Amino acid sequence: MSDVKNFSIKLKVWRQNGAKDKGRFETYPLSDVSPNASFLEMMDLLNEQLIGEGKEPIAFDHDCREGICGACSLFINGRAHGPDGEITTCQLHMRHYKEGETITIEPWRTKGFPMIKDLMTDRYAYDQIQHAGGYVSISTGGVPDANAIPIIKADADEAMDAASCIGCGACAATCKNGSAMLFVAAKVSQLALLPQGKIEASRRAKAMVAKMDYLGFGNCSNTGACEIECPKNVSISHIARLNREFLVANVKD
């Protein structure tokens, strides 16, 4: 028999009816929490309790619950995605908490992600930045055979590391300036390192940076907080590449 015991916690949750609502914290006791439950399963348990009490459930974003989609955007006790490193909120388990602990849960707080409701924010800004230039639009023909285009392995590996960005928004939400530079840098870098992406490199860097600025994201001041809280461990070295791509594009013009 398992000796793992369920426990009780208190949840201090941000509630807000919409962007124009002032918003406030509300505290809810929750018992019989399994340490093996994921954080989002715990949130489901809380919502079931609220519905049973005739109260409105808490709105929070989620989708795959496998650390792939980046939807589970929560600030937990002052950290994006919670206390564990290199994971998303859906991969966080309640074994990190103990009996009687108070857990504070907030939404992403940055100008670029407007409030929708409670713990949900509108992260469509990242899609808009991607649409501005994070793609290859030229005709590259059919799918080539593996290794048909010679690419230095170090470059291919670095491009793949950049492509691991899931666009969750933790970087902008963590940055004191609300900067989206790590996200933009990852999307630029994954293409800048490959031959297919070099033809449109100048237009891409300028267009994506311009869209980022237009949407109200702040400037990077190189504190490194974005890299620390990134669930996919995307390196800020990609920001240096974005800066080079952007400067080269402007010099060419």
Band of pLDDT at residue 2, cut at 50, 70 and 90? low
- Provide the token pair at 213: 């600025």
pLDDT at residue 218 in the model: 95
pLDDT at residue 146 in the model: 64
Q: What percent of the chain shows pLDDT beyond 70?
A: 97
Q: How many other C-beta atoms are found inside a 10 Å radius of the C-beta of residue 90?
A: 25
Contact predicate 166/81, CB 8 Å: no
Tell me: do 12 and 89 sit in the same domain: yes
**Phi (first) and psi of residue 118, to 5 degrees:** 50, -110
pLDDT at residue 1 in the model: 40
Q: Give the position of tokens 């869209």.
A: 211
CATH of the domain at 161: 1.10.1060.10
Number of structural domains (the chain) is 2
Give the whole-angstrom CA distance, residue 79 versus residue 73: 11
**Model confidence over 198-218: pLDDT tens digits?**
889 889 999 999 999 999 999
pLDDT of 116 > 60? The answer is yes
Distance of CA 121 to the CA centre of its chain: 12
Tell me: do 43 and 162 sit in the same domain: no
pLDDT of 196 > 90? The answer is no
Asked whether residue 30 is domain-assigned, the answer is: yes
State which H helix or E strand residue 161 sits in: helix 153-163
**Model confidence over 105-114: pLDDT tens digits?**
999 999 999 9
Q: Give the position of tokens 């989002």.
A: 40
Band of pLDDT at residue 139, cut at 50, 70 and 90? confident
Please give the radius of gyration of the chain, using alpha carbons only, rounded to the nearest integer: 21
Domain that holds residue 196: 124-252
Give the whole-angstrom CA distance, residue 188 versus residue 182: 10
Tell me: do 56 and 141 sit in the same domain: no
pTM equals 0.92
pLDDT of 252 > 70? The answer is yes
Tell me: do 177 and 222 sit in the same domain: yes
